[in-house]
Amino acid sequence: MSNQCRSGFLHKLFCFFLKILRILHVVSNAFYRKQCSCELKLVAISFNHNSSAFSGDAMNVRRNFANAISVPEWTIGKTLATDSPAAYTIKETQGKKITIKVKFTVLPKTAKAQIKADGGGVLGPIEPQTVAFLSGVSVPEFVSFELKHQSIGADGIKVEDITWDWKYRCCGGSEWEPLQTTHHRIYIILEQPTLPWKQQPFSDTQNPWTEALDYACTWAAGKHNRDDAASAITQAVNATLGLVYDNAAGASHYTSGGLALFELTQFLNYLKNGTGLGNIVNCTDCATITTTFSNLVGCDLHASKMGYSFDLTPFRGIGAAGFGCPGFGCGFSFHEVAWKGAHGNADPLFDACLRVDGDSNPWTAPHSEQFPVNITFSTNPGAPLPLAVPFNAQSYKERLCTNDAGGIGSCNPVGPWPSSSNGRRPVK
Amino acid sequence: MINIEADEAYRKQVKTNYEFSTWAGHTKEGTADVRLTDVRIGQEQIKRWKLEEAEELPAVRQRRERRYIYVAPESGGRRRLLLTTLECNSVLDAHESLIDVVMTYMAPRLPRCESKGLEVGDICFGSHGDANLSVIFARFNILAETKNAGTEPVSVDEFAREVDSIILSYYGRTPG
């Protein structure tokens, strides 16, 4: 093949007739391509092409604690969507021009080509764009393509495997030629993840993990705001993962370093194959799991405790068949939940460790279970005890504790454990 | 805001609950200045349990922490135990660390192991219920915590005895 494309009206006319002859099987595809096309290769696609920002591209992510994700995310040979992941935030990208950057090579070396991609799911199809080449490589090396048809945010939080069917035409060819089919896993979250997750520095073990996003985006799928997302994640942790409460002692299984770290790698092992550190958890674990996964999709929770030493009204512990008390009795030395704001009386919380009695008399049977999600810690903390029945306030501690001084009267906000990085335990 | 005063008061309460003053600093063998180092619980040392994973965890206040995951091979992974050991700076430090750990338990107090027929360590606490599904004990300056982590919980008594005997064997190797 020569080093340059032929061009001009006569060549286009020649190619038009050649196309017809090809359709009629008078000439071969190879002959048509040699005369009227080029040898184009899609070499790489970069989603996170600006690691210092994420309003016009994907954000910084890594696969897990041990494995970073290199950019460009897609390169020749990658066939699985999971091998080419990208994550976008709804809030920061709203109304912004979002681009990917793509590298191509070509023969002949000075061709120009029109390139487009069909499909694309949430990122949409890519409109035709003319790409220039110098010495067989696209100019600039990574060409910017605007995602004009993306629908980030329309369906709220989501994880979606998308496919782009890339096509091209060049050297006077009038027909779109298939170039490459690429697969990508796209995560859509509400806004920038909060601690323990960090965007900077990059690359860092505390950058959002795609292996955790796989779960968080599934549990909170379709949610458009923080409260709904955290509620969905709390309920998923409580009801769908096979976790059970440590009735023997109420000990944490998924923290280490004196409650300083969240053993997320082990927890993902549990989610994937039932191994890790097992299915037994306590309140610290539940609060940490809820906080970490919720904050990964853009919520702003922290694990904080209430205490100390208070009596309990029957509740339905995580993994339990019905209402009752823990195996060690009807009392907690402390309790830890995923809390909003400044973990005060008026601040709402999310508790994946148990379900409370949600009816107008939470201190006696029959019990009507209620997920404690986005519920105020105490709507009337100084009220004289015992409280009157019917009790209809959506107020957490009153539904958790006995209706007396040893229960409601002894359960007060304390704050995060001192070693817990303000209740946002780093992940390992 | 973290309520440090409440945490301190709580720690004192936990010490009272566990009658700390009656056992703190005491050992059953040797003296209170025994300090074992580099204690490792190996693969072949625990009968009927297979070591799946051993990991050196980030140090806790300069104390070396190791976690071991054991599975019962015949259970198909349903019987699973976690063992965490903490090498403390002294016997008393191990006993203070025991308080640090049990104050993170939601159970207000735990029974002494002796009350459930288990004699391990210099001080040991088991769990509520018929069988000990978890045990925490200190032997010299080593704090050991064993917990069930499988879907088929089992008594950890025999396992704890073997761990204790391994720790004691290090004492036997200590020169002088």
User: A53 lies in which domain range?
Assistant: 39-189
Which of the listed residues A169, A189, A209 is the one where a domain comes to its end?
A189
Question: What is the domain partition of chain B in residue ranges?
Answer: 4-173
User: What CATH number did the domain enclosing A103 receive?
Assistant: 2.70.50
Is the CB of B76 inside 8 Å of chain A's CB atoms? Answer: no
A183 and A236 in a common domain: no
Q: Is the pLDDT of residue A99 over 50?
A: yes
Per-residue pLDDT tens over the stretch A318-370: 999 999 999 999 999 999 999 999 999 999 999 999 999 999 999 999 999 99
> Does A247 map to a domain?
yes
CB within 8 Å: A417 and B82: no
> Does A319 map to a domain?
yes
Cis peptide bond N-terminal to A108, omega within 30: yes
| Dist. CA A72–CA A44, nearest whole Å | 6
| Dist. CA A43–CA B45, nearest whole Å | 54
Q: What is the pLDDT of residue A3?
A: 59
Residue range B128-140: average pLDDT? 96
Compute the count of residue pairs across chains A and B with CB atoms less than 8 Å apart: 133
Residues 6+ apart with CB under 8 A from B160: B113, B118, B120, B124, B132, B135, B137, B144, B146
Mean pLDDT of chain A: 95
Among A105-119, A165-179, A279-293, B158-172, the range with the most confident prediction by mean pLDDT is A279-293
| Dist. CA B33–CA B94, nearest whole Å | 12
| Dist. CA A336–CA A325, nearest whole Å | 17
The region of weakest confidence among A14-18, A165-169, B92-96 is A14-18
What is the ipTM for the molecules in this complex?
A: 0.95
> Does A293 map to a domain?
yes
| Selection from B32, B54, B33 nearest residue B43 by Cα | B54
A241 and A95 in a common domain: no
Q: What is the pLDDT of residue B5?
A: 76
Q: Is the pLDDT of residue A76 over 90?
A: yes
Specify the amino acid at residue B67.
Answer: R
Q: Where is pLDDT greater, at B76 or B137?
A: B137
> Does A214 map to a domain?
no
Q: Which residue of A has its CA nearest to B14?
A: A333
A231 and A182 in a common domain: no
A243 and A160 in a common domain: no
pTM: 0.95
A273 and A178 in a common domain: no
Q: Is the pLDDT of residue A131 over 90?
A: yes
A130 and A47 in a common domain: yes
Per-residue pLDDT tens over the stretch A183-216: 999 999 999 999 999 999 999 999 999 999 999 9
Share of chain A above pLDDT 90, in %: 88
| Dist. CA A297–CA A187, nearest whole Å | 9
Q: Tell me the residues of chain B between 7 and 36 that have a Cβ less than 8 Å away from chain A.
A: 7, 9-10, 13-14
CB within 8 Å: A332 and B108: yes
| Dist. CA B2–CA A407, nearest whole Å | 22
Q: Is the pLDDT of residue A6 over 80?
A: no
Residue range B19-32: average pLDDT? 94
Candidates 1.10.287, 1.10.357, 3.30.750, 3.40.1000; correct CATH number of B4-173? 3.40.1000
| Dist. CA A391–CA A402, nearest whole Å | 13
> Does A360 map to a domain?
yes
> What does R_g of chain B's alpha carbons equal in angstroms?
16
Q: How confident is the model at residue A1 (pLDDT cuts 50, 70, 90)?
A: very low
A399 and A266 in a common domain: yes
Q: Tell me the residues of chain A between 266 and 285 that have a Cβ less than 8 Å away from chain B.
A: 274-275, 277-280, 282-284
Q: How confident is the model at residue B51 (pLDDT cuts 50, 70, 90)?
A: very high
List A427's β-bridge partners, or say none.
A262
> Does A101 map to a domain?
yes
| Dist. CA B172–CA B176, nearest whole Å | 10
Q: What are phi and psi of A81, to 5 degrees?
A: -60, -40
A253 and A136 in a common domain: no
Residue range A364-383: average pLDDT? 97
A256 and A156 in a common domain: no
> Does A67 map to a domain?
yes
> Does A264 map to a domain?
yes
A277 and A344 in a common domain: yes
* Segment (H or E) for B145: strand B142-148
A169 and A59 in a common domain: yes
Residue A68 C-alpha, separation from nearest chain B C-alpha, in angstroms: 21
Q: State whether residue A363 is helix, strand or coil.
A: coil
Q: How many domains does chain A have?
A: 2
A291 and A404 in a common domain: yes
